[in-house]
Chain A
Amino acid sequence: AQKVTQAQTEISVVEKEDVTLDCVYETRDTTYYLFWYKQPPSGELVFLIRRNSFDEQNEISGRYSWNFQKSTSSFNFTITASQVVDSAVYFCALSERETNAGKSTFGDGTTLTVKP
């Protein structure tokens, strides 16, 4: 069965600090997809990134970067020079090819608070 663990329940940083959100996953499938979503206070989740199991290349998008390591089953998310607008709940999610209907398993989320 697929499982996603986000061990950090809450993180608080001061603006301009770097912060890393951890995500560890479990799956028996060889083909799977990992996602990160952001849930701002408004409540609507926003898709940030997708990674497939065959692509371990790290990705950078502006202040955001993602580190995918199959050896440790981790897909961590780093925000560089954090800003107050980054305050949100961040979810890591996993979908397996063998699972019907693209059902995603979500972690419990990490609440990030960036203080000015």
Chain B
Amino acid sequence: DGGITQSPKYLFRKEGQNVTLSCEQNLNHDAMYWYRQDPGQGLRLIYYSQIVNDFQKGDIAEGYSVSREKKESFPLTVTSAQKNPTAFYLCASSTTSSPYNEQFFGPGTRLTVL
């Protein structure tokens, strides 16, 4: 079945540590996105990638980094510079970066900083 996988489902991190969230898609989509969701709030865009080897900052990129070395993979690193990283992280993809296209979402990773 085609879709988006995110791992791990739950992640615990100590303060001061970097941690990497995995996102893989087998939909052959060009565009990929990372969102952060906090309780009672909508999705806020962290980074997006329109095509492999290219990515841009979203609205809340500070303290995060990404790479897009392969079309199917878009990992997100939460660095120690992110002051409040505890949140639910969602990865998404779309056929292309056209605003017409709906996004397909993964099941999310819940990150907790201890």
Contacts and interface: CB of A to CB of B under 8 A. Distances in A.
* A and B associate in one complex: yes
A84 interface: no
Interface residues of B, number: 30
A37 B107 CA distance: 14
Contacts of A52: 100
Contact of B100 (A33, A43, A46): A33
B2 interface: no
A101 B107 contact: no
A93 B43 CA distance: 10
A97 B107 contact: no
Contact of A43 (B33, B92, B96, B108): B108
Nearest to A96: B99
B63 interface: no
A93 to B, nearest CB: 8
Contacts of B107: 42-44
Interface centre among A9, A37, A104, A108, by most chain B C-beta atoms within 10 angstroms, is A104
A109 B58 CA distance: 20
Interface in A9-48: 9, 32-33, 35, 37, 42-47
Given A33-B99, A104-B45, A108-B42, 11 more contacts: A35-B102, A43-B90, A44-B105, A44-B107, A91-B43, A102-B94, A102-B100, A103-B45, A104-B99, A108-B40, A109-B41
